[in-house]
Amino acid sequence: MLERTPKHKELQIGFKMLCEKLLTRESFLIMEAGWKQKHGRTAVSTADLTIKRPSEADLTVVEAKFYRSRRVDLTLFRNALEELKKHRDAKKAKNAMMIVTCEITPAMRAETERHGAALWGLADLLLLTAKTPTLADTLADLLREADPGAAGRELFSDELQQLEEQSPRIKTKNEGARLIADLDQVKPGREGVKKFEQLCDKAIRYLFADQFQRWNSQPHIDDRLHRPNLIARLVPKHEFWISLSEDFRCRYVLFSFENDTEPLDQGDILSNVRHLSTGALRTVLVIVCRGGLDAGARRAMQSALREDGHFILTLTLAELKDMLTAKDGGDEFSDVLIDRSADLLTDLTP
């Protein structure tokens, strides 16, 4: 069983669990959950699921394939069908079913019919999960994590929008106000730095939840060095983030949260900037700083833009709180970023 990374294993198991719940909801009995053996300490070659109808004796073997692409090579799909056939023969099952997270082409459907199997694709999964919104949420989470990060677009954007409309998840009201109240309780400087970083992390996620995926918080290290606290993959929908993605070839954005009361200086900016990389498509850094910037920090930002094409935006704590208030009220909250971006690009100060 191929498991290149822990994330790969997590997605595979999550999808097989989802399929098991869907089949149970569709009145199938789960006779064997072979996927548990496949992902155990000693991998076993068996069908992901063996199921049957309550009133029937015939068994059906099921393979659930989680693909991180909308389209799958026909040869790969044929190989999956051959694997399904092998499991059907081994179980002496009458029926077989393939469940995949990709679009079904006529050729794929013809191949499946040739093997005498049933086939569920992405469109079928959307219809089936619509009956149970909690399962729709699970599918949405899997599809978001599956996105390999193609520049400027979300792989399953249409499907995710449909699933979001079905979601029963409670949208927290006045989340911005709660974050502001918590931020007001944080002590400036080293004493409150960890709490400040945690709350800024939550604030950024609240503000830009629909613009990013694959949020990755960095561990707090108390060594007085300045480094990014959060990195996320950009999947822009707002024109501001779309323009940054295209103009600066940016796929990943870094965020740094600075709790010092003193303005950031040139060294503080340079310490953060060293984590940017044009080759790795990490070209944009957003810094939230309690104490603002001094002239040296602004010159360092201009130098990074002019010499390396690295784009650095800063927000004061007061500006961050204003943005949280605006979002709570349904107002445009990206104005400060748009204006700050224009100021940086039109400033020719050496």
> pLDDT, tens digit, for every residue of 277-332?
999 999 999 999 998 899 999 999 999 999 999 999 999 999 999 999 999 888 89
Query: What tokens appear for 338 in the block?
Result: 């748009």
pLDDT of residue 152: 46
- 2 pLDDT higher than 80: no
Cβ neighbourhood burial of 123 (10 Å; 0-12, 13-18, 19+): exposed
Return the residue matching tokens 């869907």.
Answer: 22
Q: What angle do CA 241, 242, 243 make, to 5 degrees?
A: 90
- Which class for 323: exposed (0-12), middle (13-18), buried (19 or more C-beta within 10 A)? buried
**Residue where the block lists tokens 């992902």:** 39
What is the average pLDDT across 35-51? Answer: 82
pLDDT higher than 50, residue 190: yes
Lowest-pLDDT range of 53-67, 159-173, 182-196? 159-173
Residue 86: the pLDDT is 95
* Residues linked to residue 230 through DSSP beta bridges, in sequence order: 217, 255
Name the CATH code of domain 6-166 (choices 3.60.70.12, 3.40.1350.10, 1.10.3720.10, 3.50.50.60).
3.40.1350.10
Q: CATH number for 175-346: choose from 3.30.70.20, 1.20.950.20, 3.40.91.30, 3.40.190.10.
A: 3.40.91.30
In this structure, what are the phi and psi dihedrals at residue 49, rounded to the nearest 5 degrees?
-140, 145
Band (pLDDT 50/70/90 cuts) for residue 24 is: very high
Q: Is residue 74 very low, low, confident or very high in pLDDT (cuts 50, 70, 90)?
A: very high
Which stretch of DSSP H or E encloses residue 49?
strand 49-52
Count of alpha carbons within 13 angstroms of residue 192, beta-carbon side: 16
The reported pLDDT for the residue numbered 200 is 95
> Cα separation of 101 and 156, whole Å?
10
How far apart are the C-alpha atoms of 314 and 301, rounded to whole Å? 10
Model confidence at 32, pLDDT cuts 50, 70, 90, reads very high
Portion of the chain with pLDDT greater than 70, in percent: 89
Model confidence at 240: pLDDT above 50: yes
Q: Give the residue-averaged pLDDT of 28-47.
A: 83
The 10s digit of each residue's pLDDT in 117-162 is 999 999 999 999 988 888 888 998 888 877 655 444 556 667 777 7
Conformational region of residue 224, where left means phi above 0, alpha means psi within -120 to 50, and beta covers everything else: left
- Domain boundaries, given as residue ranges, for the chain: 6-166, 175-346
Mean pLDDT computed over 227-241: 88
pLDDT the model gives residue 350: 64
Q: How far is CA 122 from CA 8, 30, 126, 263, in A?
A: 19, 22, 6, 51
At residue 344 the predicted structure's pLDDT band, cuts being 50, 70 and 90, is confident
**3-state percent helix, strand, coil for the chain, nearest multiple of 5:** 50, 15, 35
For residues 65-70, give the mean pLDDT: 88
Q: CA 246 from chain center: how many Å?
A: 20
